[in-house]
């Protein structure tokens, strides 16, 4: 084939390629997909489930180990499905995972042992609690609470939503007040049909 004809064919092919329609844009993620991206994490590579078909672990993490009298307890929870079967988590508004409400029947209970040894089941706080720190975002900046509908695959984590855009923690919404000086011990119990888990215990020392 003469060089000029070969060059013309190459140019024609290039022009044809330029006229091709661009690929269609990827579909927008669904609300459930956005929720999953925000509130769940996958396990590390090489992770293996435990022997039980349904098993959950809970890690309670405190932002501070020492607070002033009357100050709230700031925390986050990391729940992991360590069993062999998927675990479904469904919460109608108000959601504990999204907003921290203990008033709904979602299975979460916080317990505190006060400095004198008394154990308390911490009651819920139905009213919205003001942000405890300046990093917390105003309510209008946080995503709306539409309930929760997620299924954790084996190894997946479910994370509590923080109360601000620059923090990983949130204030416990409870009527209970940490007014006694000394060290409290706090833990979380989760109970659902055929599934129960208890967190580690964390210490919170109250000072003047």
Contact 58, 89 (CB under 8 A): no
pLDDT in tens, 142-199: 667 789 999 999 999 999 999 999 999 999 999 999 999 999 999 999 999 999 999 9
| Residue with the larger pLDDT of the pair 205 and 20 | 205
Contact 187, 172 (CB under 8 A): no
pLDDT grade, residue 75 (50/70/90)? very high
Q: How many other β-carbons are positioned within 10 Å of the β-carbon of residue 46?
A: 5
Q: Three-class SS of residue 142?
A: coil
List the domain boundaries for the chain.
Answer: 30-207
Q: What is the pLDDT of residue 134?
A: 44
**Assigned CATH topology for domain 30-207:** Immunoglobulin-like (2.60.40)
């Amino acid at each position: 084939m003469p060089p000029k004809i070969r060059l013309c064919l190459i140019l024609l092919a290039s022009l044809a390629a330029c006229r091709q329609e661009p690929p269609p844009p990827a579909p927008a993620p669904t609300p459930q997909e956005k929720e999953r991206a925000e509130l769940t994490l996958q396990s590390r590579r090489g992770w293996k489930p435990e022997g039980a078909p349904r098993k959950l672990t809970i890690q309670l993490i405190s932002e501070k180990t020492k607070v002033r009298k009357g100050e709230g307890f700031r925390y986050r929870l990391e729940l992991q499905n360590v069993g062999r079967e998927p675990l479904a988590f469904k919460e109608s508004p108000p959601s504990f995972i999204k907003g921290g409400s203990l008033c709904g029947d979602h299975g979460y209970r916080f317990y505190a042992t006060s400095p004198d040894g008394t154990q308390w089941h911490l009651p819920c706080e139905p009213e919205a609690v003001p942000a405890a720190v300046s990093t917390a975002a105003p309510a209008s900046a946080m995503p709306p609470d539409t309930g929760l509908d997620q299924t954790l695959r084996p190894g997946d984590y479910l994370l509590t939503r923080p109360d601000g855009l620059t923090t990983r923690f949130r204030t416990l919404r409870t009527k209970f007040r940490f007014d006694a000086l000394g060290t409290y011990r706090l833990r979380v119990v989760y109970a659902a049909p055929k599934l129960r888990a208890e967190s580690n215990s964390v210490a919170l020392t109250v000072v003047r």
